Amino acid sequence: MEPFGLTIGKKKIRIPIIQGGMGIGVSRSGLAGAVAKNGGAGVIASVALGLISPYFKKKSDYYEANKLALRDEVRKAREIAGGGIIGVNCMVAITDYEDMVRVSVENGADMIISGAGLPTSLPALTKGYPDVALVPIVSSVKAAQVIIKKWERSFSRIPDAIIYEHPKYAGGHLGASHDELEHPKYDYPAVIPDLVEAVKPFGNIPIIAAGGIWNAEDIKMAMALGASGVQMASRFVCTYECDADIKFKEIYISAGEEDLAIVHSPVGLPGRAINTAFMKSGKKAKGKGCMANCLKVCAKRDTGEDFCIALALKQAVTGDIKNGLFFAGSNAPRSSKLVSVAELMEELSEGFVPSHNPA
């Protein structure tokens, strides 16, 4: 059966799969461009891209390096995509959030995905680019309603789609407290239908399910509940085109379910990661003081008592197994081998049922 598409704002995605943004540098132009070329929406993670670029040589380079690196990655992804949809994930929690949004749209991003906080100012930051799709990430119906009402009241705009991220299954930073990660109130059957109904009074807003989506059956499950598409991140790590070092991918392939753990991040949120040597050693990323003032909230910067998450994530993506923090979703241990993005997209799109997208 031919896959049905997904319309987000003025953007049409042939296969209703958004590749989730993975930082630092796990999803750059190589992965995002390949996903877009093969019918999905490819997403670059903007957070701290400068740290793994030739533009960063000292602390004072950080912000300019991020802008230059993101510019390069968006342009490269567009070249690879062959007309496919390229998005950028811009976290509200980063100190250069506004710059990352502006650089993204100025260099041709089709879509801005924004979470790790409420992106209440996003329409203002993209005012001169009305064709760019704006997609907030939420972990509750209430958060979605707050964003919609704020955007409608202040900017006469509604989100072009909303991503619901399930904290029990997602990788990286999670939108719930450690004690609530397992609460059934976050389960897809409890949230997606309510979210679909909650947005109806405001117009056509597709709901995208994220967290724990691994195969075509999971996609069908989400769509049966009313979702218009899915976002998948961990599933794309073990592709040849993923921008992470091969050692990063090998960590996924060798991990078992018992190797997943929850880490308390210096940003004040729990995060899901693979329990590597860094996690077991007390999580002390090398380096003294604050490396770049990259986050609006950071215990490492403010108290010196925690680890530098930017450095730990950089070490992971560059293949430093001993000192890296390897964020991963709950299904990461199901990774068994490297495949091409083309192969993966073909597998995921097999037997699709019609989308509930209200376009």
E strand or H helix at 122: helix 122-125
Q: Above 90 in pLDDT, residue 51? A: yes
pLDDT-derived band of residue 283, with 50, 70 and 90 as boundaries? low
Percent of residues, the chain, with pLDDT higher than 70: 94
Residues 18, 228: Cα–Cα separation, whole Å: 11
Quick one: pLDDT at residue 279? 82
Count of beta carbons in the 10 Å neighbourhood of residue 26:
27
List of long-range contacts for 50-55, beta carbons under 8 Å, 24+ apart: 51/24, 51/25, 51/292, 51/310, 51/314, 52/24, 52/25, 52/314, 52/317, 52/318
List, in order of start, the domains of the chain with CATH numbers: 6-244+335-349 (3.20.20.70), 247-317 (no CATH)
Q: Write down the pLDDT at residue 242.
A: 98
CA–CA gap between residue 128 and residue 26 (Å, rounded):
29
Higher pLDDT, 307 or 223: 223
Q: What is the pTM of this model?
A: 0.93
- Closest listed residue to residue 297, CA positions, set 140, 92, 13, 87: 92
Local confidence band at 340 (pLDDT 50, 70, 90 cut-offs)? very high
Q: What is the pLDDT of residues 116-171, one digit of tens each?
A: 999 999 999 999 999 999 999 999 999 999 999 999 999 999 999 999 999 998 98
pLDDT at 356 over 60: no
Confidence of residue 289 (pLDDT cuts 50, 70, 90): low
**pLDDT tens for each residue of 178-235:** 778 888 898 999 999 999 999 999 999 999 999 999 999 999 999 999 999 999 999 9
How many Å apart are CA 194 and CA 274, to the nearest integer? 32
**Arithmetic mean of pLDDT over the chain:** 91
pLDDT value at position 175? Answer: 83
Beta bridge partner(s), residue 118: none
Q: Work out the pLDDT band at 280, boundaries 50, 70, 90.
A: confident
Helix/strand/coil (H, E, C) string of 268-294? CCEEEEECCHHHHCCCCCCCCCCCCCC
Q: What pLDDT is recorded for position 212? A: 95
